[in-house]
Amino acid sequence: MSKYNPYENMLHVLDRAAEKLQMQTNDYEFVRHPERELTVSIPIMMDDGHVEVFSGYRVQHNTARGAAKGGIRFHPQADENEVKALAAWMTIKNAIGNIPYGGAKGGIKVDPSKLSPRELQRLTRMYVRRIAPFIGPDQDVPAPDVNTNGQIMAWIADEYSAMRGQWEPGVVTGKPLTTGGSLGRNEATGRGLMFTLENWCSKQNEQMEKLTMAVQGFGNVGSVGSLLMHRHGVRIIAIGDIDGSLYNPGGIDVEAAYIYANSHGRSLKGYEEKGSSFIPNTELLKLDVDILFMAALENQLHNGTMQEVKARVILEGANGPTTEEADAYFAEKGIEVLPDVLANVGGVVGSYYEWVQNKTGYYWTENEYNDKLQKNMKQSFEDVYAIKEKYHVTYRLAAYMLALKRVVEAQNTRGFLG
């Protein structure tokens, strides 16, 4: 069996979107290829004195609509194809959110849990030195992703600023408040997912208070999203993380689980709650719930797991959790997928807000931030829904169609050279 290639998966959906829009290959061929792919070696001295070299990546997929934008992940399985796909998905997401960004993504092949804080900082700063000629507030703006956080973003901003000789907070988003971060940004992706589910409920005449949910992944996106949806009445009966899946058919006390996980390294290991037990992670996807909230990593719903899914709706918090084969299977079975490029767009929309505040030097209240996010998420959902209804396609295909149309129009307006 050949290795799953997420970039090929993205291209197949893009081609189907172009076909539905009756675009010719010449109309959108430029979107099928990243503008720039950068691979760097990152040598750092470890605490014991030996030098280790890590591989790093930064891909700028498309900048027709504005500066490249996308996160940086530290993960042992990060590679060129993964980062390329993530960069392309950012192009799609930014166009759906209708913000003036193109798509980018970065990564380092590393397990950060095996590094000391000093090694992690040295790795981050050397990575910035390697990619510095290609990033900047008006060129390419990174952000947090898997295994990166506000502290790492602060190191990036500081290293880049030291190289420029002036403070440049807008070079990266997702920073702590003390270094130009934005109130509301940390919760933006999870809050955006809650707004997506709310918008879906409105279209389906469903009530969030009557929905049941199982959650795969309890990091920032999964925990914040779960907490907010729980507060809106959703009964969450299972939460899975790397150490196992907490199961309580009567509903988990998500407030307590959130506090515990955030004080125990994002893990629910050792958490106890009356009426709950731990089940194997493989069982979580099989639960009979209304919503399956996928908030872990890509390629989780595939040929080996898709037939076990009993949920009515799949809410994608992670990037690329559903393979193309599984997507087709769910469409055939009438299981709706609220795709990553629509559902988790709140993160990059929130990053855009932080970037705007950095550039203007004027900072909003958290309520102002959240109000803007809610309006943007509603408009994005309405735009995708209109195409879905007009062409009788899935949410994912409608999202790609909307994004492709906007990217092609931007490039055609700017014009081609050559």
* DSSP β-ladder status, 313-316 and 212-216: unpaired
* C-alpha 256, offset from chain centre: 25
DSSP structure string for 264-293:
TTT--TT---TT-EEE-HHHHTT---SEEE
Closest CA to 285 of 258, 319, 321: 321
The Cα–Cα gap between 395 and 404 comes to 14
- Helix (H) or strand (E) run with residue 129 in it: helix 117-131
The Cα–Cα gap between 56 and 44 comes to 12
Q: Are 155 and 124 in contact (CB under 8 A)?
A: yes
Determine which one of 84, 105, 175, 388 is catalytic.
105
Return the DSSP state at 76: T
Our answer to whether residue 286 is catalytic in this structure is: no
The Cα–Cα gap between 230 and 211 comes to 10
The Cα–Cα gap between 385 and 140 comes to 30
> Residues 275-281: contacts with CB within 8 Å, 24+ apart?
275/248, 275/249, 275/250, 276/246, 276/247, 276/248, 276/252, 277/246, 277/247, 277/248, 278/244, 278/245, 278/246, 278/247, 279/238, 279/244, 279/245, 279/247, 280/244, 280/245, 281/216, 281/240, 281/244, 281/245
3-class SS of residue 57: strand
> Cα-Cα-Cα-Cα dihedral of 150, 155, 158, 159, to 10°?
-150
* C-alpha 393, offset from chain centre: 23
**Rounded to the nearest 5 degrees, what angle is found at the Cα of 115, between the Cα atoms of 111 and 117?**
130
Catalytic residue list: 105
